[in-house]
């Protein structure tokens, strides 16, 4: 090697990315942190056991002064029971992590939980202090000694300069978590895509079946009756509108006339639904009403223009006018009912309706599946494994001179 060999720069070690976790653990192992953590955990375990014992002593402690009123004793017992139950539960929940990287976070949370415990049991503590301060003090000091031991352990770990290793382990955990998350999302996407393909195939089968049904003779007849029914309803609407317009013009005169008339009901029916009233008016009583009203128009206090208009309309509404429209309404309603019966009996129409319901359901499922796939793709796109991998490499290289190669795929 020669004398100057001692001054040569140490060659960097080389590892695979999959070996980083073991490499970091080795660095930690060399600092014997496991022993420190194990030693502290044993001490804390002893203090927890001691805490349970002191709580038993507190539960069994008798009053130093027997001259205390029964009411005060009863109150004290309630506070003692609540206090010991709460602290025993607190001790049950203490579980110090083995990973040095989690010690700092755990210590901070432990201190917060002690503050919370203190706040929740303050009233119990103040009451018990008046009766059995010595036993109470031992419990409190034991809990505080656990916090002190954790703080001591944290300080010891921090002195080892392990911040870079801790950061590298955190980044590596993030990488592994996202790697698992991406694999799970890819699996979910494949499942949804398979489901989507099956739904699209089902949709195609339904559409093919509907096309076949729509080309059948039964369906062609169904369409003919649909068109007829539509035509009958349009013609009925025209008659209804015509009658509505006529009686809208006669609304004011009829309202005035009906006050002293014996035909109020029939007038109201015609003003509300002229076509329906005419359909039920087999004797055409409306003609008699209009003729009587015509004879009394001078008594209705109508303006001259309205009076002339009313006379003109009544003259037009002769028996032939009402008869033709009444017969036409009956005829069209009969034809409409016949067409409706044919439509309702159409097997092809029933099958098409059923298929349309299934098709609508399938299309909703397709839309939902497509939406789910897009959301999963977006989540996958948000995962940047290469960025996290690079961060792991950078943090690891801060610890030591090491070259990290990607694993062969």
- Per-residue pLDDT for 346 more than 80? no
With tokens 């079946």, the residue in question is 209
Q: Kindly state the helix (H) or strand (E) to which residue 115 belongs, with its residue range.
A: helix 100-129
Residue 344 confidence (pLDDT)? 82
Q: What tokens appear for 388 in the block?
A: 């996290």
CB-based burial label for 163 (10 Å; 0-12, 13-18, 19+): middle
Give the C-alpha separation, 341 to 219, whole Å: 14
Longest dimension (CA), the chain: 142
- Per-residue pLDDT for 210 more than 80? yes
The pLDDT mean for the chain works out to 87
Query: What percent of the chain shows pLDDT beyond 70?
Result: 95
DSSP 8-state secondary structure symbol assigned to residue 403:
E
Q: What is the pTM of this model?
A: 0.47
The pLDDT of 291-308, averaged and rounded, is 87
- Per-residue pLDDT for 110 more than 70? yes
CB atoms within 10 A of CB 65: 6
Of 123 and 212, more confident? 123
Residue 409 confidence (pLDDT)? 63
Residue 405 confidence (pLDDT)? 83
- Per-residue pLDDT for 161 more than 70? no
Please report, for the chain, how many H helices and E strands are present, in that order: 15, 2
Which of 14-28, 182-196, 225-239, 292-306 shows the lowest mean pLDDT across its residues?
14-28
Q: Tell me the three state secondary structure of residue 402.
A: strand
Paired sense of beta strands 402-405 and 13-16, if any: parallel
Residue 3 confidence (pLDDT)? 37
- Per-residue pLDDT for 365 more than 60? yes
Of 159 and 91, more confident? 91
The pLDDT of 104-113, averaged and rounded, is 92
Which of 137-146, 147-156, 245-254, 291-300 shows the lowest mean pLDDT across its residues?
291-300
Residue 314 binned pLDDT confidence (cut-offs 50, 70, 90): very high
- Per-residue pLDDT for 5 more than 70? no
Residue 342 confidence (pLDDT)? 82
**C-beta of residue 311 within 8 angstroms of C-beta of residue 300:** no
Angle of helix 163-214 relative to helix 20-30, nearest 10 degrees?
160
Of 67 and 263, more confident? 263
The pLDDT of 107-135, averaged and rounded, is 91
DSSP 8-state secondary structure symbol assigned to residue 318:
-
* Helices assigned H by DSSP within 281-346: 285-295, 304-316, 319-344
- Per-residue pLDDT for 364 more than 90? yes
- Per-residue pLDDT for 97 more than 70? yes
């Amino acid at each position: 090697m020669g004398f100057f060999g001692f001054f040569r720069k140490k060659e960097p070690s080389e590892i695979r990315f999959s070996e980083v976790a073991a490499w970091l653990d080795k660095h930690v192992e060399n600092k014997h942190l496991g022993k420190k953590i194990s030693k502290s955990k044993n001490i804390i375990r002893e203090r927890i056991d001691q805490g349970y014992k002191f709580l038993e002593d507190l539960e069994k402690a008798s009053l130093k002064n027997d001259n205390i009123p029964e009411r005060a004793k009863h109150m004290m017992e309630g506070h003692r029971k609540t206090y010991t139950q709460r602290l025993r539960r607190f001790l049950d929940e203490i579980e110090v992590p083995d990973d040095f990287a989690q010690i700092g976070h755990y210590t901070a949370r432990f201190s917060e939980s002690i503050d919370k415990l203190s706040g929740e049991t303050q009233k119990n503590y103040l009451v018990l202090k008046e009766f059995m301060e010595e036993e109470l003090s031992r419990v409190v000091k034991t809990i505080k000694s656990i916090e002190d031991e954790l703080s001591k352990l944290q300080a010891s770990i921090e002195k080892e300069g392990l911040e870079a290793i801790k950061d590298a382990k955190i980044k590596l955990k993030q990488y592994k978590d996202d790697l698992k998350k991406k694999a799970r999302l890819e699996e979910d996407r494949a499942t949804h895509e398979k489901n989507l393909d099956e739904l699209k195939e089902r949709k195609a089968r339904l559409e093919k079946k509907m096309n076949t049904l729509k080309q059948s003779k039964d369906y062609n007849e169904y369409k003919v009756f649909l068109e007829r029914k539509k035509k009958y309803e349009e013609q009925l609407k025209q008659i209804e509108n015509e009658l509505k317009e006529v009686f809208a013009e006669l609304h004011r005169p009829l309202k005035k006339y009906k006050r002293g008339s014996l035909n109020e009901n029939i007038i109201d029916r015609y003003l509300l639904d002229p076509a329906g009233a005419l359909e039920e008016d087999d004797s055409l009583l409306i003609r008699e009403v209009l003729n009587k009203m015509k004879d009394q128009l001078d008594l209705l206090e109508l303006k001259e223009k309205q009076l002339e208009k009313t006379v003109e309309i009544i003259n037009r509404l002769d028996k032939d006018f009402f008869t033709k429209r009444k017969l036409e309404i009956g005829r069209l309603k009969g034809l409409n009912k016949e067409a409706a019966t044919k439509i309702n009996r159409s097997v092809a129409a029933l099958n098409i309706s059923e298929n349309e319901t299934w098709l609508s359901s399938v299309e909703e499922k397709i839309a939902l599946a497509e939406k789910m796939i897009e959301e999963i793709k977006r989540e996958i796109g948000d995962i940047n494994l290469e960025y996290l991998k690079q961060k792991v490499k950078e943090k690891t290289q801060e610890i030591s001179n090491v070259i990290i190669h990607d694993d062969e795929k």
